[in-house]
Structure 1
């Protein structure tokens, strides 16, 4: 029978002791924060890796300048840069395949 009055479900006191439905509170769950902390840590480690890679690249270029004669430096740098390019391309290919 429909007498114009809608029946509403009353929250159970045991399942929801504070009387709220849990939908709009400002309470933060640890499970909700964990992915953001992981992404933040990944971002920080990524920045650290980029800085370290740039330093390594500069150091290896200096080593080429010290250990290899002037006549062969362009060849050594070309081989080194080609190797860096191959590693970068392989890393990008792996990341794009996982997508």
Structure 2
């Protein structure tokens, strides 16, 4: 006599619920909320980066105009812009990795 329990589980007439684990829905909704929070954090980071970059560019431009000789101003501005850009790209890429 064969007492295969998997055969009886498959032939129960379809009365079992297709959702065998109700915690899957909670896990999925938790991940959805986490994803939305990460997207919101990314949007806030990008917005702050844009606003801060504009304000910082004007402030640093004033400092460069005042303290750096005219021949070297363009190099200081380029270096500053590069540093700000790299910081923003680093923060955005970190946030995008979290969304993966």
TM range (shorter): 0.5 to 0.7
In structure 1, runs of 5+ residues without a counterpart are: 1-6, 12-18
Structure with higher Rg: it is 1
Q: Tell me the secondary structure at the aligned position of residue 65 of structure 2.
A: coil
Residues 1:38 and 2:34 aligned together: yes
Alignment of 1:1-99 (within 5 A): 8-9=8-9, 10=12, 20-23=15-18, 29-69=25-65, 71=70, 72-87=72-87, 88=89, 92=93
Once the 2 structures are TM-superposed, how far is the Cα of residue 65 of structure 1 from its aligned partner? 2.4
| Aligned counterparts of 2:15 and 2:86: Cα–Cα separation in 1 | 57
The structure with more helix, counted as a fraction of residues? 2
TM-align CA RMSD: 3.9
Give deviations 1:45-80, integer Å, cap 9, x for gaps. 100000001111111101122222272542221011
* TM-score, scaled relative to structure 2: 0.58
Which one has more relative contact order, counting CA pairs under 8 Å at least 6 apart? 2
* TM-score, scaled relative to structure 1: 0.58
